[in-house]
Amino acid sequence: MLTREELCADTVYLTIAAPAIAAVASAGQFVQVGVGSAEATDPFLRRPISLADIDPAAGTIGLVIRAIGRGTRRLLVLPAGAKIDLLGPVGHGFPADLKGRVLLVGGGVGAAPLLPLAAQLAAPAAAQAVGGAGAVFLVGARTRPELWGAMLGARAGAQCVVSTDDGSAGHHGLVTDLVKAQLAAGPIDAICACGPLPMMRAVAVLAAAADVPCYVSLEQRMGCGIGACLGCAWPRSANAGGGYARVCVDGPVFAATEVVL
């Protein structure tokens, strides 16, 4: 770990030297983070954490760690300089060929996996290619201090619009209100969303009504993280063949129409 930055209560942003991962990773992929020592078997499983930054030139990745249990709490208190055991990159990320006006919709800690995409779409080459149409990063949180997604997004050059549940910053209301406003303001080419399930469900409904392709990044309790254990099953929609998809390797990013939200 190179740097450790406190974002808000129980949430830190870590920069980690991981050149092999940074060289091949794409936006929306994740890493399986070890939370015990090599010998320790408690906590037992790795923790899937989305890549919040991918910098192949610097050979670094960024991770947003929000402490929600005993595993993530261990990661939260690690000091800069600590060695972190990573397995990755894992999973399928966002489509590589997104262009035009793209809405990125992040709710709470769900802003994290959208950050590399926001950075990629804000890069001068990408912005030029789409004739300045660009991407808009819509970030929703409960309160102002939890809007770190917008802070990190702006740092990466993304155009950000925010909402809070309590009105302490930006739009007073849901991030889905911002999606409605954007859809009303002009044509949108794609929507990428990550956040609480009700939020993603609402965004998918709005996207479908506007006939805009929508991609969601899902979270599920996970065992191996590489597709072997079938622990992280998510129901696939009937028109995508039914049954279950594996969030770890078939996702975590899915077309919203492919899964049951």
Partner 1 sequence: MAGTMPGSSDWAWAGRERAEALLRQINEQAARRPGSLTTGVGSLQLANPVLTASGTYGFGREYAPLVPPAALGAITTKCVTLEVRQGNPSPRVTETPAGMLNSIGLQNPGVDEFLRTELPWLRDSGATVVVNIAAATVSDYARLTARLADAAGIGGLEINVSCPNVEREGMAFGVSPSATAAVIAAVRRETSLPVICKLTPNVTDIAEIAMAAEAAGADSISLINTLLGMVIDVETRRPVIANTFAGLSGPAIRPVAVRMVWQVRQAVRVPVIGMGGIASATDALEFILAGASAVAVGSACFANPLLPLEVIAGIGEYLERCNLTMAEAIGLAHKR
Report how far residue 105's alpha carbon sits from residue 96's, in angstroms, rounded to the nearest whole number.
17
Residue 219 binding partner 1, by CB under 8 A: no
Residue 88 binding partner 1, by CB under 8 A: yes
Nearer to partner 1, 93 or 149 (CB): 93
Nearer to partner 1, 194 or 245 (CB): 245
- From the CB of 234, what's the least distance to partner 1, in Å? 6
- From the CB of 185, what's the least distance to partner 1, in Å? 28
Kindly indicate which of the ranges 82-90, 120-128, 153-161, 169-177 contains the residues binding partner 1, using the contact rule CB under 8 A. Answer: 82-90
- From the CB of 119, what's the least distance to partner 1, in Å? 16
Report how far residue 208's alpha carbon sits from residue 188's, in angstroms, rounded to the nearest whole number.
12
3-state secondary structure 19-32: HHHHHHCCCCCEEE
Half-sphere exposure of 235 (CA within 13 A, CB side): 5
With a CB cutoff of 8 Å and minimum separation 6, the contacts of 201 are 261
Nearer to partner 1, 82 or 229 (CB): 229
Closest among 200, 114, 197 to 152, alpha carbons compared:
114
Residue 227 binding partner 1, by CB under 8 A: yes
Residue of the chain from 34, 62, 107, 140 that contacts partner 1 (CB under 8 A): 34
Binding mask 41-70 for partner 1 (x = CB under 8 A): xxxxxx------------------------
**What would the two tokens of residue 135 be?**
């991407």
Residue 239 binding partner 1, by CB under 8 A: no
**In DSSP terms, which residues pair with 4 in a beta bridge?**
14
Binding to partner 1, residues 111-140 (CB under 8 A): none
Report how far residue 65's alpha carbon sits from residue 73's, in angstroms, rounded to the nearest whole number.
9
Nearer to partner 1, 52 or 178 (CB): 52
Kindly state the DSSP code that residue 78 receives in the 8-state scheme: P
**Coil, strand, or helix at residue 87?**
strand
Kindly state the DSSP code that residue 18 receives in the 8-state scheme: -
Report how far residue 61's alpha carbon sits from residue 23's, in angstroms, rounded to the nearest whole number.
10
Residue 26 binding partner 1, by CB under 8 A: yes
Residue 184 binding partner 1, by CB under 8 A: no
**What would the two tokens of residue 159 be?**
């155009």
Nearer to partner 1, 159 or 220 (CB): 220
Residue of the chain from 28, 110, 153, 170 that contacts partner 1 (CB under 8 A): 28
- Angle, vertex CA 201, rays to CA 61 and CA 258, nearest 5: 75
**What would the two tokens of residue 245 be?**
């998809």
Nearer to partner 1, 161 or 250 (CB): 250
What does the binding site for partner 1 look like in residue numbers (CB under 8 A)?
A: 20-21, 24-26, 28-29, 32, 34, 36, 38-39, 41-46, 71, 86-96, 220-235, 240, 242-245, 249-251, 253-255, 258
